[in-house]
Amino acid sequence: MNRSVPVTRALAFCAFLLAAAVPGNAATTLDQLLEETRTLREREAKENAAREQEFRASSAEQSTLLQQAEAKRKAAEARSQRLSAQYDANEKLIAELETALEERSGNLGELFGVTRQVAGDTATALSQSMISGELPDREAFMRKLADSKELPSITELEQLWFELQREMTESGRVARFRTKVIAPGGEEGEHEVVRVGPFLAVSDGKYLNYLPSQKSLTVLPRQITGELAEVAANLQQARDGYVRAAADPSRGVLLALYVERPTLVERIERGELIGFVILAVGLLGALAAIYQFFYLLRTRLAIRRQLGNLSQPSANNPLGRVLLSFKGDPSRIEEDAEVAELRISEAVLREIPRIERFQSFLRLAVAAGPLLGLVGTVVGMIITFQSITESGSSDPRLMADGIGQAMIATVLGLGIAIPLLFANAGLSTMSRQIVSILDEQSTGLLAESIEAKRNVVGSGSSVPV
């Protein structure tokens, strides 16, 4: 009795669980509970059998997949071994081919290096050549060939040879063509250009220069004047035959430097105040020398005419006036010889100031010219030292202004002193010759007076006092 109670209670609890698991089929008796338990076991047995069967089928399938995967792995390993062997074989073949290439190329590598160097040098030359104003697309090819890391092809080598040949051919040819020309103000226009090789280019009678940055020809800001300007105009107008033309062997460099040379007026302006003072002194000296030269020349001619007719003295020349001062008064012929000599000396001395006029000023200008130039030199050097002090460096471009002023002042001072020195020497010679003639004729006049007095005394005549 005591054991049946727990069993009954256990069965009742199982029935309760089955009723909870299978809602709607709750067992009310032990037989129903037993039947349901049996049914549940059979159903679980069938499900377990189905699961075992499904597992066995899945196991077979997984075994098949495993076999396929192992087969693929073995195939991949075999292919990897073949590729590795092929790679090693290729590496060996590449090494053999590179060795063969080096052996067969010989000096081709050096040749290609020279080709690149020639292309680079040619590109630099073409970038500065006036011919590029007519043929502007050559430099790009040369730069590309010079910077290339690959071996040049036969076509590129032929193109290099062609461009070199064309540059040489154009260097010896006079060409006329139309192209873009840039004016000094920046205006662009198409003009007719005449080019003499790479040495010269003109347009509308004006000299041109090539600008590499613009890849175009440009008119020089300052043009050459004088004969070279006429040469450019004649070259522009020429259509056939031969004409004179200038040539710049530096391909435009000398021409650009030549036009930048200051003119005479600009050089004088660089001398500043001292330069103008020196020029003023020189101008006054030159005017005085020219005036006195023509005066002495006219006087010499008049004296020469008077020498041919001493019996009729004229007042338009110094010799005539000396003769008139003594012979014009008959009473003076009988004067004492010493008095007569003094009167003649007085007449000669009266003429000397006009004959030697401006010579003192010319001697002063000759002495003052170099001294004024020295003053300008000192001022220029002061400006030079000041520029050095302000900039803290001895840059020649900063010192050029002061040095230029110093040198120009020196040149101007010597430039007026040397010509005036020769002018003064010439005027002194001419004046001495005239004075010598006056002295000679006055001495002869005095001798005639003394001789006439002696003749009068010898004849017994009395001389009135």
The whole-number pLDDT of residue 464 equals 39
Per DSSP, what are the bridge partners of residue 179?
191
Of 231, 259, 287, which residue sits at a domain end?
A: 259
Residues 201 and 142 in one domain: no
Residues 400 and 453 in one domain: yes
Instruction: Judge whether 101 lies within some domain.
Output: no
Rounded Cα gap, residues 246 and 255, in angstroms? 10
Query: Higher confidence at residue 447 or residue 295?
Result: 295
Backbone angles phi, psi at 279, to 5 degrees: -65, -40
pLDDT in tens, 301-332: 888 888 887 777 778 888 878 777 766 555 55
CA distance 297 to 284: 20
Residue 8 CA to residue 445 CA, distance in Å, equals 199
For the chain, the residue count is 465
Choosing from 259, 282, 313, the residue where a domain stops is 259
- Domain holding 395, by residue range, is 270-458
Note whether 399 and 334 are same-domain residues. Answer: yes
Judge if 309 and 360 occupy the same domain: yes
Question: Could you report the per-residue pLDDT of 55-68, keeping only the tens digit for each?
Answer: 877 877 788 888 88
Q: How far is CA 216 from each of CA 130, 209, 213, 416, rounded to the nearest angstrom?
A: 9, 9, 8, 46
Q: β-strand 174-182 against 188-196: which pairing, if any? A: antiparallel
Does 302 lie in the same domain as 441? yes
Domain boundary among 118, 147, 171: 171
What pLDDT is recorded for position 425? 92
Greater confidence (331 vs 214) lies with 214
Helix (H/G/I), strand (E/B), else coil: 200 = strand
- Mean pLDDT of the region 90-105: 83
Between 447 and 318, residue with greater pLDDT: 318
Number of independent structural domains in the chain: 4
**What does the pLDDT average to over 59-86?**
87
SS3 state of residue 206: strand
Residue 24 has pLDDT above 80, yes or no: no
Of 441, 451, 465, 437, the residue nearest 325 (C-alpha):
441
Mean pLDDT, residues 445-455: 68
Contacts of 3 (CB under 8 A, 6+ apart): none
Tell me the C-alpha distance between 431 and 359, whole Å: 10
Same domain, 288 and 388: yes
Question: Would you state the pLDDT for residue 4?
Answer: 47
Q: Sorting pLDDT into bands at 50, 70 and 90, what band is 335? A: low
Same domain, 365 and 280: yes
Which of 9-13, 147-151, 262-266, 323-327 bottoms out in mean pLDDT, i.e. has the lowest? 9-13
Q: How confident is the model at residue 90 (pLDDT cuts 50, 70, 90)?
A: very high
Judgement on whether residues 153 and 42 belong to the same structural domain of the protein: no
Is residue 27 predicted with pLDDT exceeding 70?
A: no
Choose the weakest-confidence range: 20-29, 368-377, 397-406. 20-29
pLDDT on residue 454: 67
Mean pLDDT (whole number) for 2-24: 50
* Highest-pLDDT range among 212-216, 318-322, 424-428: 424-428
Position 2 pLDDT exceeds 50: no
**Backbone phi and psi for residue 405, each to the nearest 5 degrees, phi listed first:** -60, -40
Residue 294 pLDDT level (bands cut at 50, 70, 90): very high
452 occurs within a structural domain: yes
pLDDT-derived band of residue 242, with 50, 70 and 90 as boundaries? confident
**Mean pLDDT across the chain, nearest whole number?**
79
362 DSSP assignment? H
Strands 216-219 and 206-211 come out as antiparallel
Quote the CA–CA distance of 236 and 413 in Å, as a whole number. Answer: 43
Does residue 215 share a domain with residue 150?
A: no
Kindly state whether residue 96 falls inside one of the protein's structural domains.
no
Residue 176, helix vs strand vs coil: strand
Alpha carbon distances (Å) from 389 to 216, 260, 286: 42, 28, 41
Question: Is 464 within a domain?
Answer: no
Lowest mean pLDDT of 206-210, 235-239, 266-270, name the range: 266-270
Provide the b/e sequence for 398-420 (b: ≥16 CB within 10 Å).
ebeebbbbbbbbbbbbebbbebb
Distance CA 216, CA 133 (A): 5
Residue 352 falls inside a structural domain: yes
431 with 294, same domain: the answer is: yes
Cα dist from 362 to 296, 417, 427, 436, whole Å: 15, 9, 10, 22
pLDDT of residue 86: 92
Residue 386 lies in a domain: yes
Q: What is the pLDDT of residue 419?
A: 92
Instruction: Please determine, for residue 144, whether its predicted confidence score (pLDDT) is greater than 70.
Output: yes
Give the residue from 154, 155, 156, 162 showing the smallest Cα distance to 143: 156
pLDDT at 32 over 70: yes
Q: What is the mean pLDDT of residues 208-233?
A: 80
Question: 196: helix, coil or strand?
Answer: strand
Quote the CA–CA distance of 131 and 195 in Å, as a whole number. 8
**Judgement on whether residues 333 and 193 belong to the same structural domain of the protein:** no
How many percent of the chain have pLDDT more than 70? 84
What's the pLDDT score for residue 422?
Answer: 93
Residue that the structure tokens 């200051």 belong to:
262
Q: What is the pLDDT of residue 290?
A: 92
208 lies in the same domain as 240: yes
What count of other Cβ atoms lies within 10 Å of the Cβ of residue 453? 17
**Does the residue 280 lie in any domain?**
yes
